[in-house]
A and B are shown apart, each in its own frame.
Chain A
Amino acid sequence: MRRHGVLTAVLLSGAVAHADAPPPAADASVRPAASSSAALAAQMALAQQIVLHGSPQGAHECAICHGEEGQGKIKAAFPHLAGLPKPYLERQLKHFDALARNNPSMQAIAHKLDDAQIAALATYFSRQVPPPIMSPVTPPPALGEALALRGRDAIPACVTCHGPGGRGLGGALSAAFPPIAGQPAVYLERQLRAWKNGQRPAGLDGLMGAIGKRLSEAEIVAVSQYFAAQPTLAATVATEARP
């Protein structure tokens, strides 16, 4: 498992260029300036401490729910954080802290993190490799696929912003429109309902809020199942990689 993770990390570092998520640590040999890598190492160490043991201010350890490497827990509908763009993760933690995003556990946790800790945690998780495969057995409903790939009326196809397969478009685009592939279906549903009910900040230019408002309950369930069944970037890169 770990070896597979490292292999994928190396492949990823060649193929991925998130603006704020430089290649994962496995590729440390080609990292440039020593001073910036020292700063990075300090950030990673700070984050790891919180991930495994919680923060001195009393924030719970992230690992209990999201896993040590941010792999998430499908059954409990805890999202994976690994490989999500750093600015996106930072933004979410600040939204929880400001009570703009509605989840009591995460609100309490984010409230006990300062800006430096948030930056360190966002850096740490953005540099982990997303879980390779998180897909359920039953094929996703046709309604979900239609919405994801074609859209409906004034709802653009989800992949327009979230990238092919929901894997993101990279760089600044992924920071604004995060990858959504392979997240637990129940988690995705909860987010879409939050937008429908005006309980999550609407995202860049109000784009995701405007879309969530127009989705029907049946569409929310179907499209969530569709994206939950899509392989993450890591999984795709690993399977497509040629020797």
Chain B
Amino acid sequence: MSARSAFRSAHTLIAIATCGVLSACEQAPQGSAAPLAAASAAQPARPVAVAFAPPPSSAIPDDAFGVVVRQGEALFRNTPAHAPQYTGNTLSCRNCHLDAGRLADSAPMWAAWVSYPAYRSKNRHVNTFEERLQDCFRFSMNGKAPPSGSPALVALEAYSYWMASGAPTHAVLRGAGYPRLPKPAQGWDYARGQALYTEHCALCHGADGQGLLVEGKPWFPPLWGPQSYNWGAGMSRLDLAAGFIKANMPLGNGNSLSDQQAWDVAYYIDSHERPQDPRYLGSIEATRRQFHDGPYETYGRTVNGHLLGVGSGVSGGSTVTQAARGRTTTTLRD
């Protein structure tokens, strides 16, 4: 087991243990971080990370291998166009893994490549890199997992493998994953999050969170609603969303929000409906108990009188059509 996956499973074990001891995980996390104290206090420090920089895209070789690497990059940048059969929303991989999967602290693919196979608590077994890719299709892209060995997965693997050229394998690279922020002193709060969203995010992502289409193409990604990631996706967890937002948003000016602000605005975003968890067990309660029992989950919690988890739009593999929702600008011709 790599240092990184050891860190991850330790983290998860503690979280599970805490949930067993405290009834806290049953409650809506709004407004209080106290239940997290035990877990955070016991959290091990992240193992020392190794610095790494991926080669520039211009260095992709001009041979048969390079052709597939480029296919992977194209798929990563514009997923609905290159993998419509596996995509259920208007998102692309690059929306959450910035600079086309190259940017540190946005779960870059070069760092991911060297940390698999790894144990994941999400599905409680050792996952190959390929299976990890399939997961993002099923949940983040609200689509269907491409079959093992399919051209889409081979291209993404080639792209990731190539970006990790020269990286030590079985290592924790600096900038891997999203940063894990310390627990927020004031918990998290919908009203504070809403005010921050209006001030710092709404111009690009829309007051209604539905993003923006330009010339019919996805431009600013939707953050909730039928064209966003579904309830099974990592981004629907507050700790992952807050870490991503802190490091990367507002776009181009990451690390300008305080940790507290990142938690509040993450909570606001993840307090909106999105497509149902594809692992849905027939009731929100059962699904919550089975898959969303952690302290950073909003699924199955009641926020502002609304029980989250009803789902919006189609879950799992409705292919993107021209009718994909979003604001369109009137400035530009079609």
Contact = CB atoms under 8 A, between A and B. Distances in A.
A169 interface: yes
B256 A171 contact: no
Interface in A135-160: 150-156, 160
B307 interface: no
Contacts of B150: none
Interface string B57-88: 10000000000000000000000000000000
B125 interface: no
* Interface residue range, chain A: 20 to 34
The dominant DSSP class at the B interface is loop
B195 interface: no
A116 interface: no
Q: How large is the interface on B (under 10, 10 to 19, 20 to 34, 35 or more residues)?
A: 20 to 34
Contacts of B98: 154, 156
Contacts of B253: 205-207, 210
A154 B252 CA distance: 6
B234 interface: no
A59 interface: no
B52 to A, nearest CB: 13
Contacts of A211: 252
B122 interface: no
Contacts of B256: 205-206, 210
Identify the interface centre among B100, B248, B253, B256: most chain A CB within 10 Å of its CB: B253
Interface string B89-126: 00000000011101100000000000000000000000
A150 B99 CA distance: 8
A169 B214 contact: yes
A171 B331 contact: yes
Nearest to B58: A146
B102, B200, B204, B212 pick with most chain A CB within 10 angstroms: B204
Interface in B227-286: 248, 250-254, 256
A163 B332 contact: yes
B304 interface: no
Contacts of B215: 164
A207 B330 contact: no
A154 B329 contact: no
Give the one of A15, A154, A170 with max B CB within 10 A: A154
Contact of B329 (A160, A171, A206, A237): A171
A167 B333 CA distance: 12
B174 to A, nearest CB: 14
B50 interface: no
Contacts of B214: 163-164, 169
A172 interface: yes
A154 B331 contact: no
B125 to A, nearest CB: 35
Interface string A172-203: 11101000000000000000000000000000
Contacts of A28: none
Interface of A: 15-18, 150-156, 160-161, 163-164, 167-174, 176, 204-207, 210-211, 233, 237, 240
Interface of B: 57, 98-100, 102-103, 200, 203-204, 212, 214-215, 219, 248, 250-254, 256, 329-333
18 contacts: A15-B331, A154-B248, A154-B254, A161-B252, A163-B214, A167-B332, A169-B332, A170-B329, A170-B330, A171-B329, A171-B331, A173-B212, A206-B253, A207-B250, A207-B252, A210-B252, A210-B256, A233-B331
